[in-house]
Homo-oligomer: A and B are copies of this chain.
Amino acid sequence: MKHNYKHYIDQDPILKHKLLEGNFGIEKENARVDKNGKLALTPHPSVFGDKAKHPFITTDFSESQIEMITPPMPSINEAMGFLQTIHDIVSLELDKGEYLWPQSAPPILPKDEEIPIARYGDSDTSAEEYREMLSTIYGRKVQLISGVHFNFSFTEEWMERLYKASGEETSLNEFRNRLYMKLSRNFFRYRWLLIWLFGKSPAVHKTYIKDCIDRLPALEKDAYSFMEGTSVRSGVCGYRNKVNPILNFDSWEQYQKSVDDLVTDGSLKAKKELYTPLRLKSLGDEENVSYLEVRTLDLNPLKKTGISKRTLHAIHLFLLYCLFKEEEGTLDKDQQQVAYTNNDLASTFGLRKDVELITYAGAKKGIQLWADEIIEEMVTLLADYTSNNSDYQEALEYLSRLVTSPKGRIVHTLMAGIQKDGYIQFHMEKAKEYLKESRSKNFNFIGLEDMELSTQLVLREAVKRGVKFEVLDRAENFIRLKKADKTEYVQQATKTSLDTYSGILLMENKLLTKKVLEEANIRVPHGGHYTEEEKEKAILDFEIYKGKAIVIKPKSTNFGLGITILKENDSEKRYRKAIKMAFKEDKSILIEEFISGKEYRIFIINDEVVGILHRVPANVKGDGVSSIRDLVSEKNKDPLRGKGYRTPLEKIALGEAEKMFLETQGLNFETVPKEGEIIYLRENSNISTGGDSIDYTDDIPDSYKKIAVDAAKALKVKITGLDMMIDHIEEEANENNHAIIEMNFNPAIHIHCHPFVGKNRKLNEKILDALGF
């Protein structure tokens, strides 16, 4: 019962409960292509900066092959969200007319020597030299094969607990190394199953390596295939070492030595040239296995991101199966040779029903039968742990289903599609569809959609720039950004280290904001503040306010309760009544002159106006034919509109409030407005009730912008969303035609990035600029 990990785990409810936890990362490559499916020969998009230092977006062998890397995440779903976000960001930054090729097998390739290897400039000349060498050994075309790598490790907490539970008389490191070695040995033995089930590269384009094309039967006008194989990539025409490397799997130390020996004897040029289906990765000093890299996965052309969650959950279960399954003999040279053979049989003949593999006892066994046995054993060993997790339950069921009906494998759909449309057209249609999809909802961070949009936008920009981040407190939208030596903490996108605490407190205190602005000769609503003890004084001050339009309101307003607007000619009686009403809502009240004009939100970062917005109440524009109901329905189709603040705009509701507001205008939902007629469905202009955001950044005269910047300087604040009332934007600012009514220390940025009308002002970029990233 040595290393009976399952036994120890089953003894301990916590080990059992946390078995499915781990650190999960995904790496994925896509070739860039033009609209005709030809490999793009353009440079890697410069917006991603130094590819040698970018943690998320880089190139692989070729300059034309983008590699996307997620950091280790606490769940597969989170890693998938991150990958999708990187994919979307990359897609949006491609040169016009370029696409991400969704298939592992390459697109239309030029001559070998015309394939550009990744350029590193002066930053890493050895990287270019290494690629030149690979070109010589393997040629460049094979290097264009892309795939998905799945990185996995158990959590350190879980590993330590298992180590203690095992009571083994060894070190934690030794224990961990032994565990991963056992898992790896079984992975080597049974990896053919993954290729058989999940292989998704059944064909290559005719421009692929001539030697391969020559021995493959023609599948279609532009493609060649083994016809019976699941994965060209995992087969003999795929991405592999010249000679199958034989290693020593007995221990981590011996494994490492055997790899070193291959380098020493010249079989490999470098350790990283070892193209095994599973890599044991060591961070830091190479003393321990840190995580496993599963490399057998082809891109799934039916998925935008090239991989499905379900498949990754299945792979994760397969890894656990490899940990639990008792080993058959020793993974010596002979077993390794058998494993290579089984690998090739699965990839090259995996679509045949009668293919027979070789067991590790040396017998022959039908692939279908063996697969059945393994999946049955997996269910037996693992079902207990998945009972509380529907993702893993589904993955187990999916595996069972696939084994029972291998016709359900995606590779069959691909073969059918390629045969119908041709290799290039089939994949290009997918590529175009995915680009459209990425563009249509270009504001979310997948997996973090519950966070504020402003924060999601900042995180998207962080990914683009290669700034690492952590979500420290999800509910509070509190993140940490890191790049090189720089660390910044940011809450809700705009609460940063740029502002001082006293600056924030000044903005928070509306009376003081006004006072400081007034001292700086900036126009604010005149007026007074009265506590309950000063009620008598407030009443006497009618003498000051009479003849002016004023607003009387509680100091803290809730839903507009207690607010009265008085006209120039209103009576003292109305004035007294308004004061009384305001005091009902708060212990102190404000009496302010009424400011006319339209309200503009002016966003300032570091003494610069970076966006100006005006908000308009929910409305539709008539076409002379459609009812208000239909116009609303049409307007709500905009992907910018959603529900619950996860999109830049909200859908217009057809509720009681809208009904009542239409009634005051003598209208209802069935009214058909005239062509061009604007119908408002709400009095208030909040975005949250379907209002429109209209960008005015380029339409407001500089004189107002200067005043806004002066206001920020007066308060010594760096990030602020300042609300200014302006009478007429056609007119330059003078002493009487505008006033600042508020300065917000936590203004939303997403409304400036995705306005209903106008440009994306990219405030997420500006904030990262300001923070020095």
The CA-CA distance from A152 to B614 in the complex, in Å, is: 49
Q: How far is the CB of A342 from chain B (nearest CB, A)?
A: 40
A502 touches B476 (CB 8 A): no
A636 to chain B, nearest CB (A): 32
Q: Are B489 and A541 in contact (CB under 8 A)?
A: no
In the complex, whether A504 has a CB less than 8 A from a CB of chain B is yes
Contact residue among B473, B490, B511, B544 (Cβ-Cβ distance under 8 Å from A512): B473
Please determine whether A497 and B503 come into contact, CB atoms closer than 8 angstroms: yes
Residues of B within 8 A of A14 (CB): 540-541, 543-544
> In whole angstroms, how far apart are the Cα atoms of A491 and B488 in the complex?
25
Counting chain B CB atoms within 10 Å of each CB, which of A476, A505, A716 scores highest? A505
* A515 CB-CB contact with B under 8 Å: yes
Closest partner residue, chain B, to A494 (CB atom): B501
| Among B496, B498, B502, contact of A489 (Cβ-Cβ < 8 Å) | B502
A703 at the interface (CB under 8 A from B): no
How would residues 546 to 582 of chain A score, 1 for a CB under 8 Å from any chain B CB and 0 otherwise? 0000000000000000000000000000000000000
Say how far A32's CB is from chain B's closest CB, in angstroms: 38
Chain A 440-476 per-residue mask, 1 if CB under 8 angstroms from chain B, else 0: 0000000000000000000000000000000011001
Contact (Cβ within 8 A) A496 B502: yes
Closest to A543 in B: B14
Please judge, given known A-B contacts A14-B544, A497-B716, A543-B13, whether A502 and B490 are in contact too, CB under 8 Å: yes
User: Which B residues lie within 8 Å of A515 (CB)?
Assistant: 472
**A585 proximal to B (CB < 8 A):** no
A472 B12 Cβ-Cβ under 8 A = no
Does A509 belong to the interface (CB within 8 Å)?
yes
For A499, the chain B residues whose CB sits under 8 A away are 500-501
Contact assessment for B502 and A495 in the assembled complex, using a CB-CB cutoff below 8 Å: yes
Chain B, Cβ-Cβ closest to A529: B473
Q: Are B500 and A500 in touch, CB under 8 angstroms?
A: yes
A17 at interface, CB cutoff 8 A: yes
A506 within 8 A of B: yes
Known: A478-B512, A511-B473, A512-B472. A495 touches B489 (CB 8 A): no
Bound Cα distance from A491 to B507, whole angstroms: 13
A537 CA / B543 CA spacing, docked (Å): 66
Which residues from B are CB-within-8-Å of A537?
A: 17
A491 — which chain B residues lie within 8 A by C-beta?
A: 502, 505
User: Which secondary structure characterizes the binding site on chain A?
Assistant: mixed
Tell me which residues across on chain B come within 8 A of A503, comparing CB atoms. 489, 497, 501
A501 contact from B12, B17, B504, Cβ within 8 A: B504
- Interface residues of A, count at CB 8 A: 35
Q: Which residues of B contact A500 (CB under 8 A)?
A: 496-501
Q: How many angstroms between the C-alpha atoms of A498 and B497 in the bound complex? A: 11
Contact call A501/B509, Cβ cutoff below 8 A: no
Residues of B close to A497: CB separation below 8 A: 500-503, 716
Question: Which residues of A, 517-554, contact B by the 8 Å Cβ criterion?
Answer: 537, 540-541, 543-544
| A714-750 interface with B by 8 A CB criterion | 716, 745
Q: Which residues of chain B come closer than 8 Å to A490, judged between CB atoms?
A: 502
A11-41 interface bits toward B, Cβ cutoff 8 Å, 1 = contact, 0 = none? 0111001000000000000000000000000
Please give, as numbers and ranges, the residues of chain B lying within 8 Å of A716 by CB-CB distance.
497
For residue A719, give the distance in angstroms from its CB to the closest CB of chain B. 9
Q: Are B509 and A505 in contact (CB under 8 A)?
A: no
Q: Which residues of chain B come closer than 8 Å to A13, judged between CB atoms?
A: 540, 543
Q: Select which of B17, B489, B540 is within 8 A of A540 by beta carbon.
A: B17
Cβ-closest chain B residue relative to A512: B472
In Å, the complex CA distance between A498 and B540 comes to 43
Question: How many angstroms between the C-alpha atoms of A745 and B716 in the bound complex?
Answer: 21
A68-109 CB contacts (< 8 Å) to partner B? none
Is A543's CB under 8 angstroms from B12's CB?
Answer: yes
A462 shortest CB reach to chain B, Å = 15
Which residues of B lie under 8 Å from residue A472 when comparing CB positions?
Answer: 509, 512, 515
CB-nearest residue of chain B to A541: B14
A701–B12 Cα gap in the complex (Å)? 43
Instruction: Give Cα A13 to B544, complex, Å.
Output: 11
For the complex formed, measure the closest distance between the CB of A389 and the CB atoms of chain B, giving whole angstroms. 13
**Which one, B488, B509, B543, B544, contacts A502 given CB within 8 A?**
B488
**Complex: chain B residue closest to A470, CB-CB:** B515
A501 cross-chain contacts in B, Cβ below 8 A:
495-501, 503-504, 745
A-B interface, 5 closest residue pairs, ranked by CB to CB distance from nearest: A497-B500, A489-B502, A497-B502, A499-B501, A14-B543
A14-B543, A497-B503, A498-B501 known; 14 other A-B pairs, CB under 8 Å? A17-B537, A17-B540, A472-B509, A473-B511, A491-B502, A491-B505, A495-B501, A495-B502, A495-B505, A496-B500, A497-B501, A499-B500, A499-B501, A500-B500
- Chain A residues with CB under 8 Å of chain B are 12-14, 17, 472-473, 476, 478, 488-491, 495-506, 509, 511-512, 515, 537, 540-541, 543-544, 716, 745
20 contacts between A and B (CB under 8 A): A12-B543, A13-B540, A14-B543, A17-B540, A472-B509, A472-B515, A473-B509, A473-B512, A476-B509, A478-B505, A478-B509, A488-B502, A489-B503, A489-B505, A496-B502, A497-B500, A497-B502, A497-B503, A499-B501, A500-B500
